[in-house]
Amino acid sequence: MRIGPSLIVTLTAGLVATAASAQQTAPLAVTASTYYRCDIPREGRADTLYQQVIAPALERQVKAGHLTAYGFSSHLIGGGWRRLAYMVSPSIDHLMAGRAAYQDDLDKTNPKGQAEFDAICGSHDDYIWQEGVASKDNPSAPATTYTYSRYTSCDMSKEGEADLIMETAFAPIMNKHLAAGHIGSWTWLVHYLGGPVRRVLLWTGTDALSVIKAEEMISTDMAANGLYAAFTAACSGHSDYVWHVETASR
């Protein structure tokens, strides 16, 4: 199947209008992700501090209704980011309230632990993402502790086209590999706030080898699709990471 440029623009406009209407009726869930650069010999200590000091404070924000999930992952393959912390919230309002309350909590309960963590992972990049399209939750699926993340740069004037292609052409590819058991779940994240990365395609698996093998199959299937050229014209560059889950709320 091939879609001409004019039809892509028309479909994209419709998708944007639908999304705008949906935003008016219900807030969109958001994920705040912090990508840390750390002192490698002391990273294990940072993992312990997150689990013992930071996670309990985040759990209190889950109970308060500001967050729905949180987690912390360690670098296995990729670039300069060594640790990834995230928190998921039902809306940007809840996210900002939860972040502020969480920080106040740490300042009161364990400022030394927070300071030690910051000394180990002293710089970071912050992003806020909205979920574009994703697989449905499957409570019966086996636990997945590895994530393959493809951080993509896009032409901002064309990234809406990439979103449409992901939803209409590539989501079926992702779901095919999900049904075949090659991946445990998948998500397409859309930039809300942060640096130059504009989109993230991620999938999960039970081990590192499985998510890497899934990349080979997924990339091959996407490249064979008639809309691949239009997609790469919109979102051309990417940097890939494999993460291992150290701590997660669920």
Nearest-angstrom CA–CA distance, 133 and 210: 22
Q: Would the pTM of this model clear 0.85, i.e. be above it?
A: yes
All domains of the chain, ordered by start, with CATH? 5-248 (3.30.70.100)
Q: How far is CA 172 from CA 42, 135, 179, 205, 222, in A?
A: 42, 10, 10, 18, 10
**pLDDT value of position 206:** 95
Nearest-angstrom CA–CA distance, 29 and 173: 24
Q: Is the dihedral of CA 125, 130, 134, 136 positive or negative?
A: positive
What does the pLDDT look like over 165-222, one tens digit per residue? 999 999 999 999 999 999 999 999 999 999 999 999 999 999 999 999 999 999 999 9
Question: What mean pLDDT, rounded, does the chain reach?
Answer: 90
Name the nearest CA neighbour of 28 among 123, 121, 109, 93: 93
Split at pLDDT 50, 70, 90, the class of 250 is: low
Name the one residue in this structure whose structure tokens are 């779940």.
Answer: 185
**pLDDT value of position 5:** 43
Higher pLDDT, 7 or 128: 128
Nearest-angstrom CA–CA distance, 96 and 189: 19
What does the pLDDT look like over 40-99, one tens digit per residue? 999 999 999 999 999 999 999 999 999 999 999 999 999 999 999 999 999 999 999 999
Q: How far is CA 86 from CA 70, 100, 128, 145, in A?
A: 5, 15, 9, 15
- Using a CB cutoff of 8 Å and minimum separation of 24, what contacts does 94-103 make? 94/65, 94/66, 94/67, 95/30, 95/32, 95/66, 95/67, 95/128, 97/66, 98/61, 98/64, 98/66, 98/67, 99/32, 101/61, 101/64, 101/66, 102/57, 102/58, 102/60, 102/61
Name the nearest CA neighbour of 197 among 160, 154, 243: 154
